[in-house]
Structure 1
């Protein structure tokens, strides 16, 4: 069997599993929602939802928790993609949580990545969502590897990694009581390499930031920090113009690119196949604080 056939068979298996999960959640949950940020994983989720439910409309709206510190290219792509699909997009902003006092930052330019948890919980309460479908994958980070496909959250939106439901024989338990919800991860079993192989196979459009481009950066904490109005170069830092791409896109204040000349999905597949660091470990400043940082956030409601 040729390599291309093996790859196609592998991706077909992952695709079929994810479509099955999406259909199960749509059938069993009363008010599901799909989280869509414009990032590569949520773009893959949208394609899977298209295959699961087209030619009908999605049986759930889309939701983006906007930190207010997103790259403008990603927000523009998000809006264009939703318009193209003709689906409903709900946007809830961390700025509004700050205004009402539920989110308090030490400084205006602090990372708002963790603060998304509060805004997400407020949106879940506002719309009474019982299932939030997202693009997290187990290979991203150690805490994410502890999640089930249908990961239970209590009435406070909190996650207990020691109290998770068994998922034997691909049977998913979506039963929740009022106030509780589940976080659903249809692509949990995918890897970063799988994502890029699928992007290439499906010829999916993505924000331009994912591909090689020249950008001003400074070297900070062992990473290439982008120079932007929100994240200017600090005293004594040297601004360089480097060919980079983003492996993941998020809050500008904590998301860094990697040096790369990869201009196509095929180029990125070749780079990803030999990468030794996960995308979050290599590009997120706030995830480098400690190994337990993500788990602490998730226990408090972070996706």
Structure 2
């Protein structure tokens, strides 16, 4: 953990500070809302994002530290998932993701799916197990994760999302699970996604809920309770994520928030938050969005 945090500090210190001066989605006026992490908010679409512009090399170095080094923060998570896939165990993708996949992908109508940030191939393998007829393509920036997905014989590409523009096919569904918060050029992604979706095509995604900060009334100033820049660059609420997609030619934008806290029976706060969630006073950790091409 300390090694990763030190890496992020060094990246920020060494970076030539290129910054956004207007909203990167709608070019509206912006105001600083978090000094510590250089977070700004648009007065028009209410989008919250990091004002610093990072390089592609910096992103690759950060993700290598997060996932691939011996003591990486998320290495164990990836190792457990990969072992599950290698051993042909039942693939667990979570209640909310499985619900969206059943509704929009495994519905007998969807023929093709593109996943941005496909990782080691958890979702790709899940879809293949449920319906081998669905054409699946994954894009993953991390080389080691990509190589694991290749070992699993999944159709994947080792690149960032901009490679979409070179792909000839179009898709019925484009998915991003805990990925959209990492995309620096979000407007370009939205343009390319719209271009590559078939008529009435769907975007499905999950992302951290910025408003979960309100679950911590005694929080330190500028605390955000999710990965800090340059890992997370975009910060969403139920309201602003719908606005962002509507501004970029998507309709029927339905954003829902995970209602209950994650199970943690040894933590007193879990019981407090659970009671709050029953009375709709809890800000769920994750937002799920489904949106349709205009």
More strand by share: 2
Q: Do both proteins adopt the same fold according to a TM-score greater than 0.5, normalized to the shorter chain?
A: no
Return the TM-score normalized by structure 2.
Answer: 0.31
Higher normalized contact order (CA 8 Å, seq sep 6+, divided by chain length): 1
